[in-house]
Amino acid sequence: MKVIKGNSFNFFINNKRILILWMLILFQLPAVYAQLKLVPLEGLPGEDDGYSFSGEDLLRTDAALTLPFFEDFSTVKSATPGTRNWLSGGGVYINNTLSGSHPSLNIATFDGLNAGGTPYNLVNPLTQNFTDTLTSQPINLAGKTVADSVYLSFYWMAKGLGELPDSSDFFQVEFLSKTAGWVTVWNQAGFNLDTLFHQKFIRISDPGYFHDAFQFRFRSYGRNSGAYDTWQLDYIYLNAKRSVKQPYLFDVAMRKPVSPLLKRYTAMPLRQYRVNPALATSDSVRTDIVNHFNNFNILTSTFTITDAQRGTEYFRNVQRSIYVESLKSKSLSVKPAALNINATLDSINLLSKFFVITTDTIPNVNLKTNDTITARVALTDYYAFDDGSAEYGVQVNQKLGRVAVQYILSKPDTIGGVRIALAPFNKDIAGQSFTIQISNSKNGRPDQVISQRSVAVSYPNVRNGFIDYQFANPVAVADTFYVGWLQINEQPVTVGFDRNSILGKNAIFYNLGTEWARETSLNGSIMIRPYLGKNARGVITGIETSSPDYFFPNPSSGIINWNSNSLKRIDVFNVQGNQIDTILPDGNIKAASVSHLSAGIYFLKANDGKRNFVQKMLIVK
C-alpha cells in the first residue's frame, strides 16, 4: 500500500506489490495513527453489467459510421458511453470529476470496476487482468489508402483523481484488421508517469485496416478488484487528410465543473436559504474553457440560473469580447445575485449554466456540444458539501471511533433524518449495525449527543446513490450541529468521499475516545446529507432528553445503573477499542459494579435483543 500521513489521517491506496510489507508496518504503528482512512470504492455488491467482450457484440444494425469520427463525451448524459459511436458495455465510467485538466467536458475513466460499479473480481483482491474496454462501432474505411493520411488521435492520462497505475499495468489501443483480427498498435505502461494529459497520434497504414467494418478499441490492464490503476481518456478524433504537424482543432471547449452557487454548501434547504439569500450565495460562480486552436479566439459567454422544472429564469449575465489565447485555457467567472425565490415554493431545483458562442468547425462534426456546461443546485430539504460523485470512500479505522460533520443553520430548525452514500470495501457488510449520531456544539467542536439511532448498513442500487435513515421524531437544533456515525464493529463502515468538492474539508471531526479533533489534511467532503423535518419548530431552548436506556451516574465512582428491564448484554471497551468486560443483566437488577476497572474513559455497548447503543462513560476513583 501507498501511505501518505497527514496531521490526523492516514491516506490508504492499495498497491499489490507492497501489500505484505505494509501489513507488517501497520501492526507496528502506534494507536494514534488508527483514525480515518480513504479507500478506493469497490462498487455495489451483487451488481453485474453482464458484459463479456466480443468483437461482434451489439454492433450497429444500420450502415457503418463514416469519417470523420469525433468523440469528447460532452453529449453523454449518463455514466456510460453513447451507443451511436460505441459498443455497449465495456465498463468505462463517463464523468467530469476525476480530472481537472482534461481537454473537454467529460472524460472516460478506465479502472477495475465494470459498468455497474462492481469489481471484475470479487474473490481475489490481487488478481490482474484486462479491465475496462471501450470499442468503437464499425467504421467504413473501404477505399482508403495510406496516401489518404488517416490518423487516430486522442488524449490520455494516468491517475487523475484515481490511483496511479503500476509498472505491470498498461493502457493500449487495438485496431481490427480484416485479416489479422485485433492488433495492438500502441501500449503505455504504468508507474513512472506524470499526471498530465498527453495527445497521441496513430497513423493507419496497414492495408488490412482499410475495410468497411474497421473498429478500434481502448483497453486497460490492471487490478480487477476495485477502482485501481486508473487511466483517463478524452477528445478522440479519427479522420483522413491529417498530419502530426497540424494537430490543432478549431474548437473552444468547456471543461471544469461549474463551481457551487452557494457559499458554504452545494445544497441547502430553501427555508434556510431564504433567511439571508445574500449571505448564502457564493461571491462567484466559475468554470473554464480551453482553446484547442493555434490562434486566439474571441467569444461571448452567458451565464444563467433557471428553475430546472418550471423554466423560470432568475439570473442572467452576458460577457462579450472574451479573449482566449491559442492553446490556452481561460477562466470564466460571474458574481451571481441573491435569488428571490417565489414565496409559494417550499423547494426548488436550480440549473446554473455557462454557454459560449463560438465559430468552432470540423466539416461534418458538431463541435457545439461542448460549448455548454451545467450544474444542478438543490434548494430543497437537505444540506450537502459534496457534488454527488464519490471518488473514494472514508472509514474510521478503529472500533468505537466516531466521525462528525459540522453544519450551520441560518435559523433554528429540526432534522428529520440523514442520507448517507454507503459503499462496500473489501467485504459486503450489509446488515451490520452502526450508529448515526447528531450532536450539538461547544467551542467549535461536537459536544453532547442529542439524538442517535442504531441502523443497519444498506447499499444503494445505483452508483453514487444515498441511503435514507429517518429519525422517528425530528431532532431540534438551534444553530451549529454535527452529524456523523459511531463505528461499533470491527469491520468499518465505508462512506463516500468527494475529492472534487472541498467545501466540507474544514467541517470534519473525529473522536477516538478521549476528545474531538478537527481534520483538515484531506481536501474533500464526506457524503453525508442531513435533511430537515417536515414541521419546523420555533426557537429551541434545550436539547432532547436522553433515552432511559442510558447509564448513570456519569462520571461513576465504580457502580453503573440503568433504567431498562430489557437489556440483555453490556460490553465494556477501553478507548483503544478492546473489549475488557461483559455484563449480563439478571432479572430486575439494574446496577453493576465496575470498580475493578482503572480510572479512565470507557465505552459501554448495550444490546436489548433488537438494537445496539453505545455510551461513553468516565470512571473515577
- Render pLDDT for 257-298 as a digit per residue (tens, 0 to 9): 999 999 999 999 999 999 999 999 999 999 999 999 999 999
Question: Nearest-CA neighbor of 436 among 528, 549, 548?
Answer: 528
336 with 270, same domain: the answer is yes
- Does the pLDDT value for residue 175 go beyond 90? yes
| Any domain includes 22 | no
Q: Give the full edge-to-edge strand order of the sheet including 10-13.
A: 2-5, 10-13, 36-39, 392-396, 495-498, 525-526
- Which of the pair, 614 or 442, is modelled with greater confidence? 442
| Any domain includes 541 | no
For residue range 436-453, what is the model confidence (pLDDT) as tens digits?
A: 999 999 999 999 999 999
CA pair distance 136, 83, nearest whole angstrom: 9
Residue pair 222/165 in contact (Cβ under 8 Å)? The answer is: yes
- Which of the pair, 404 or 520, is modelled with greater confidence? 404
The most distant pair of C-alpha atoms in the chain lies apart, rounded to whole Å, by: 94
CA pair distance 85, 99, nearest whole angstrom: 23
pLDDT for the residue 58: 54
Instruction: Provide the residue range defining the domain that includes 408.
Output: 384-532
DSSP 377-430: EEESSB-BSS-S--SEEEEE-STT-EEEEEEE-SS-EEEEEEEE-B--BSB--T
Partners of 572 in beta bridges: 581, 604
| Any domain includes 586 | yes
What's the distance, Cα to Cα, between the start and end of the chain in Å? 44
Q: Would you place residue 61 in the very low, low, confident or very high pLDDT band (cuts 50, 70, 90)?
A: low
CA pair distance 285, 301, nearest whole angstrom: 13
Partners of 417 in beta bridges: 470, 531
- Does the pLDDT value for residue 207 go beyond 80? yes
Q: Of 160-174, 266-280, 551-565, where does mean pLDDT reach its minimum?
A: 551-565
374 with 388, same domain: the answer is no
User: What average pLDDT is seen over the chain?
Assistant: 85
Cα distances (angstroms) measured from residue 316 to each of 73, 261, 373, 495: 27, 13, 15, 37
85 with 227, same domain: the answer is yes
Q: Assign residue 463 the CATH number of its domain.
A: 2.60.120
CA pair distance 96, 351, nearest whole angstrom: 17
Q: Of 61-70, 136-145, 315-324, 326-335, where does mean pLDDT reach its minimum?
A: 61-70
Final residue in a domain of this structure, among 201, 220, 247? 247
293 with 317, same domain: the answer is yes
Cα-Cα-Cα-Cα dihedral sign, residues 246, 251, 257, 258: positive
Helix (H, G, I), strand (E, B) or coil at 505: coil
| Any domain includes 11 | no
298 with 428, same domain: the answer is no
Residue pair 608/568 in contact (Cβ under 8 Å)? The answer is: yes
| Any domain includes 40 | no
CA pair distance 265, 387, nearest whole angstrom: 10
| Any domain includes 50 | no
Question: Nearest-CA neighbor of 216 among 185, 174, 179, 178?
Answer: 174
Q: Assign residue 578 the CATH number of its domain.
A: 2.60.40
C-alpha cell at 396: 474510521
- Does the pLDDT value for residue 377 go beyond 90? yes
What is the number of helices (H) and of strands (E) in the chain?
A: 3, 38
pLDDT for the residue 19: 32
Greatest mean pLDDT among 331-335, 532-536, 611-615: 331-335
Q: Would you place residue 543 in the very low, low, confident or very high pLDDT band (cuts 50, 70, 90)?
A: very low
Q: Of 147-151, 174-178, 576-580, where does mean pLDDT reach its minimum?
A: 576-580
pTM for the structure as a whole: 0.77
| Any domain includes 20 | no
582 with 596, same domain: the answer is yes
Q: Of 36-50, 486-500, 507-521, 560-574, where does mean pLDDT reach its minimum?
A: 36-50
- Does the pLDDT value for residue 532 go beyond 60? yes
- Does the pLDDT value for residue 536 go beyond 70? no
Q: Of 56-70, 235-249, 266-280, where does mean pLDDT reach its minimum?
A: 56-70
pLDDT for the residue 547: 43
pLDDT for the residue 68: 96
117 with 189, same domain: the answer is yes
527 with 430, same domain: the answer is yes
DSSP 190-214: -SS--SS-EEEEEE---GGG-STTB
Residue pair 152/237 in contact (Cβ under 8 Å)? The answer is: yes
- Does the pLDDT value for residue 611 go beyond 80? no
Final residue in a domain of this structure, among 379, 395, 421? 379
140 with 74, same domain: the answer is yes
374 with 399, same domain: the answer is no
pLDDT for the residue 294: 93
CA pair distance 613, 606, nearest whole angstrom: 6
CA pair distance 229, 165, nearest whole angstrom: 4
DSSP 239-256: ESS--TT----S-EEE-S
| Any domain includes 56 | no
CA pair distance 316, 334, nearest whole angstrom: 10
Residue pair 337/290 in contact (Cβ under 8 Å)? The answer is: no
Report residue 498: phi and psi, to 5°: -95, 110
CA pair distance 418, 150, nearest whole angstrom: 55
Q: Would you place residue 425 in the very low, low, confident or very high pLDDT band (cuts 50, 70, 90)?
A: confident
Q: Would you place residue 101 in the very low, low, confident or very high pLDDT band (cuts 50, 70, 90)?
A: very high
pLDDT for the residue 523: 84
pLDDT for the residue 140: 97
Helix (H, G, I), strand (E, B) or coil at 20: helix
Q: Assign residue 206 the CATH number of its domain.
A: 2.60.120.260
For residue range 496-530, what is the model confidence (pLDDT) as tens digits?
A: 999 889 999 999 999 987 789 999 888 899 999 99
pLDDT for the residue 45: 42
215 with 233, same domain: the answer is yes
CA pair distance 293, 280, nearest whole angstrom: 39
- Which of the pair, 23 or 128, is modelled with greater confidence? 128
pLDDT for the residue 11: 31
- Does the pLDDT value for residue 48 go beyond 60? no
CA pair distance 607, 243, nearest whole angstrom: 72
Output the CA angle 37-616-477, nearest 5 degrees.
80
C-alpha cell at 409: 443553520
Report residue 280: phi and psi, to 5°: -85, -20
How far, in whole angstroms, is CA 332 from its chain's centroid? Answer: 25
Final residue in a domain of this structure, among 515, 532, 549? 532
Number of domains in the chain: 4
- Which of the pair, 92 or 55, is modelled with greater confidence? 92
441 with 353, same domain: the answer is no
